[in-house]
């Protein structure tokens, strides 16, 4: 049992089953960690109690320096170290206190004046805090800006140990109005500067060791937890306005409303709520934020707006995850388009209505939501015509950074798409494995239905200038005992244009991909290599300035390369028959021409190179073995 604060966990829950087990299995032991010296006696502990010793002064100093920036550590002289040692004495060798104080010092310039100011702060001995709370946390809390304090205290609404995801909590901070709109020198925050500022606040809490990172994702950012001691401190400081309900006693404390019960502005419930308890909650007339992370037993007819008139429903910026799975929300109301401040919408349900010959698709409700940053659409198999999809106006959502399209291939009688075009989505930066990963594994589907887009013949991706990451690995491997098939296995034509990927993903450039015949690559400014397309017979490459290598296209018959000045290697193209090479800035022929043997070469070059290609010249020797060629001079 780790981090026990009260003997109730033992007396009310574990005492009887553990004692019964010890009678049947003598020798059983329970290991308990606690910060309370009296708790072991209250739990009737009979064996040795091990007291964890505080950090040695040198170890504490080493831990403190790890919280500073490298440049700050370099600036520490002997006098500054002496002040640091005095600060550490006030931390009593407690690692958490050292880290939090170190986080505070990391925001200061490493000078005697700055560190002495921290040492002399009266907050070290803040009066009025409960005995179980560490007063040294108040030192860091007092140093926060008013906006950052609100963000920190809001984290107390998440249960202890629960992960606080960056994308989730920062969007809520913006909705709550915690983020200060602050102009930048010489410029102003653009429309989405608030979200970026919220991210900076989140990182500031990490820097100060008030939240602790557990992982970082390239798309969603950090995931953090809050130390139990820090969480208890935050709960206490937010007690006048916020409450986290984790047991029945806390729920009962909210009873009364006008009758003298606890009234709060923010309420988070982490336990099952009964009908009676729901009635208690309805008395919270001043409630502005309600988080329910558990089951709730109430009728759908209950009106949130009627009972919780102070909830900030007009400032909705995020709808709940999996909204499409709600029993009574298979469609979205027409009025949802009025939520013009909406930034995150996960699980938007597609629905098509046929009424007196008129067809209405719910996708059109997305059109006014121009501020969306994250969007997930579910049920696209219901969309039978491209004109319906166009009404969502995805291409106009210039701030969209994440787009997930879900297509249920398990629906009976649904025609598999033969062609797919994704065009003009300027804000997409990353495409995750969800785009081509088999989602039907979770539904017990047969291996025949595991591969997404099994009948897709043609794929066109155009106008994604910020797209720099495509996560797609070869999926033909054992997945939970099931051998899945390769995604888009029937793909024959692939058009890729206007993005900044530096490489094509291995799930696409795959030796098992045998149907792909035609590959077009236009204006890929960062692509450096094109390899492992053994079935491609036609390749067009246009304006790829960083492309250096083409190899592994054993069946390639026709290739056109225009404005690819960095290409150095063209190999493994033994079936090559027809070749076009054009570059007006080329002053010498590339060396790879000497090792390829097409039947026909069309060369388009500048006047200077054209003159140098006389029979017997060094440049001519590179192409003299090619039976037929057509050399064209490009006008400068």
How large is the average pLDDT for residues 320-337?
50
Let me know how many helices (H) and strands (E) the chain has, helices first.
19, 27
**Nearest Cα to 331, choosing from 385, 394, 387, 382?**
382
Strand partners, 520: 495, 540
Strand partners, 212: 225
Q: pLDDT per residue over 13-57, tens digit each?
A: 777 887 787 777 777 677 878 877 777 777 667 667 788 888 999
Share of residues in the chain with pLDDT > 70 (%): 76
Decide: 219 and 402 in contact? Cβ < 8 Å.
yes
- pLDDT (0 to 100) of residue 316: 45
Q: What is the pTM of this model?
A: 0.58
Residue 324 pLDDT exceeds 60: no
- pLDDT (0 to 100) of residue 26: 74
Cα 192 from Cα 198, distance rounded (Å): 10
- pLDDT (0 to 100) of residue 302: 47
Decide: 152 and 234 in contact? Cβ < 8 Å.
yes
How large is the average pLDDT for residues 330-349?
71
Cα 560 from Cα 536, distance rounded (Å): 13
Q: pLDDT per residue over 77-92, tens digit each?
A: 899 999 999 999 999 9
How large is the average pLDDT for residues 176-190?
61
To the nearest 10°, report the CA torsion of 300, 305, 311, 314: 110
Cα 164 from Cα 377, distance rounded (Å): 24
Q: Residue 603: how many CB atoms within 10 A of its CB?
A: 22
Q: pLDDT per residue over 92-147, tens digit each?
A: 999 999 999 999 999 999 999 999 999 999 988 888 888 778 888 999 999 999 99
User: How does the average pLDDT of the chain come out, rounded?
Assistant: 79
Lowest mean per-residue pLDDT among 255-259, 382-386, 472-476, 606-610:
255-259
- pLDDT (0 to 100) of residue 188: 43
- pLDDT (0 to 100) of residue 41: 74
Nearest-5° angle of CA 380, CA 382, CA 385? 90
Q: How far is the CA of 305 from the CAs of 207, 256, 301, 632, in angstroms?
A: 39, 20, 11, 74
Residue 220 pLDDT exceeds 70: no
Q: Where do the CATH 1.10.10 domains begin and end in the chain? A: 146-232
Residue 620 pLDDT exceeds 70: yes
Residue 447 pLDDT exceeds 50: no
Position 444 confidence tier, pLDDT thresholds 50, 70, 90: very low
Residue 202 pLDDT exceeds 90: yes
Residue 369 pLDDT exceeds 90: no
- pLDDT (0 to 100) of residue 453: 74
Share of residues in the chain with pLDDT > 90 (%): 33
Cα 132 from Cα 150, distance rounded (Å): 23
Cα 431 from Cα 437, distance rounded (Å): 11
- pLDDT (0 to 100) of residue 350: 84
The H-or-E segment that residue 529 falls in is strand 529-531
Query: Does the domain made of 146-232 have the CATH classification 1.10.510?
Result: no
Residue 628 pLDDT exceeds 80: yes
Which residue shows structure tokens 């002053």? Answer: 587
Decide: 562 and 541 in contact? Cβ < 8 Å.
yes
More confidently predicted of 568 and 32: 568
**Nearest Cα to 147, choosing from 167, 186, 176, 184?**
176
Highest mean pLDDT among 14-23, 255-264, 530-539: 530-539
Position 431 confidence tier, pLDDT thresholds 50, 70, 90: confident
Residue 299 pLDDT exceeds 80: no
- pLDDT (0 to 100) of residue 343: 80
């Amino acid at each position: 049992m780790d981090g026990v604060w009260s003997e109730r966990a033992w007396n009310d829950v574990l005492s009887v089953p553990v004692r019964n087990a010890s009678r049947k299995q003598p020798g059983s032991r329970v290991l308990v960690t606690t910060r309370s010296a009296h708790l072991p006696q209250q739990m009737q502990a009979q064996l040795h109690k091990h007291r964890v010793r505080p950090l040695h002064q040198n170890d504490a100093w080493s831990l403190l320096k790890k919280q500073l920036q490298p440049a700050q550590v370099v600036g520490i002289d002997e006098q500054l170290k002496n002040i640091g040692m005095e600060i550490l004495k006030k931390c009593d060798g407690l690692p958490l206190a050292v880290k939090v104080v170190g986080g505070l010092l990391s925001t200061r310039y490493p000078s005697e004046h700055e560190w002495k100011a921290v040492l002399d702060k009266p907050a070290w001995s803040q009066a009025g805090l409960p005995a179980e709370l560490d007063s040294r946390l108040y030192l860091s809390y007092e140093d926060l800006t008013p906006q950052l304090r609100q963000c920190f205290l809001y984290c107390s609404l998440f249960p202890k140990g629960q992960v606080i995801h960056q994308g989730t909590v920062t969007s809520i901070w913006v909705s709550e109005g915690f983020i200060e709109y602050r102009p930048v020198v010489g410029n102003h925050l653009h429309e989405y500067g608030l979200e970026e500022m919220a991210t900076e606040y989140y990182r500031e809490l990490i820097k100060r060791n008030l939240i602790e990172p557990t992982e970082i994702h390239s798309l969603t950012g950090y995931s953090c937890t809050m130390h139990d001691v820090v969480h208890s401190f935050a709960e206490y400081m937010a007690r006048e306005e916020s409450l986290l309900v984790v047991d029945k006693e806390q729920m009962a404390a909210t009873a009364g409303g006008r009758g003298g019960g606890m009234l709060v502005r923010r309420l988070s419930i982490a336990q099952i709520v009964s009908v009676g308890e729901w009635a208690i909650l309805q008395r919270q007339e001043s409630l502005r934020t309600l988080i329910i992370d558990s089951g709730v037993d109430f009728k759908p007819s209950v009106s949130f707006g009627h009972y919780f008139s102070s909830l900030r429903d007009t400032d909705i910026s995020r709808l709940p995850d999996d909204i499409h799975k709600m029993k009574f929300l298979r469609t979205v109301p027409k009025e949802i388009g009025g939520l013009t401040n909406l930034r995150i919408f996960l699980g938007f349900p597609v629905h098509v209505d046929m009424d007196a010959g008129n067809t209405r698709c719910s996708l059109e409700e997305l059109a006014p939501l121009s501020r969306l940053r994250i969007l997930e659409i579910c049920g696209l198999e219901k969309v039978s015509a491209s004109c319906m999809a166009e009404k969502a106006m995805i291409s106009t959502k210039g701030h969209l950074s994440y787009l997930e399209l879900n297509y249920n291939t398990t629906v009976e009688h649904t025609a598999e798409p033969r062609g797919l075009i994704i065009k003009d989505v300027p804000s997409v930066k990353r495409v995750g494995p969800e785009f081509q990963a088999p989602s039907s594994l979770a539904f017990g589907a047969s291996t025949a239905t595991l591969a997404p887009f099994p009948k897709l013949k043609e794929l066109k991706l155009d106008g994604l200038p910020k797209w720099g990451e495509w996560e797609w690995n070869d999926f033909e491997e054992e997945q939970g005992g099931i051998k899945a098939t390769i995604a888009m296995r029937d793909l024959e034509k692939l058009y890729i244009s206007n993005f900044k990927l530096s490489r094509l993903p291995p799930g696409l450039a795959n030796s098992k991909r045998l149907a792909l015949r035609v590959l077009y690559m236009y204006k890929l400014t960062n692509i450096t290599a094109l390899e492992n397309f053994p079935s491609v017979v036609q390749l067009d490459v246009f304006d790829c300035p960083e492309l250096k290598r083409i190899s592994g296209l054993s069946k390639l018959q026709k290739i056109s390369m225009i404005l690819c000045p960095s290409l150095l290697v063209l190999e493994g193209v033994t079936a090559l028959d027809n070749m076009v090479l054009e570059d007006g800035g080329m002053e010498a022929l590339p060396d790879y021409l000497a090792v390829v043997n097409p039947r026909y070469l069309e060369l388009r070059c500048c006047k200077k190179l054209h003159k140098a290609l006389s029979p017997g010249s060094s440049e001519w020797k590179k192409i003299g073995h090619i039976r037929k060629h057509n050399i064209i001079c490009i006008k400068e």
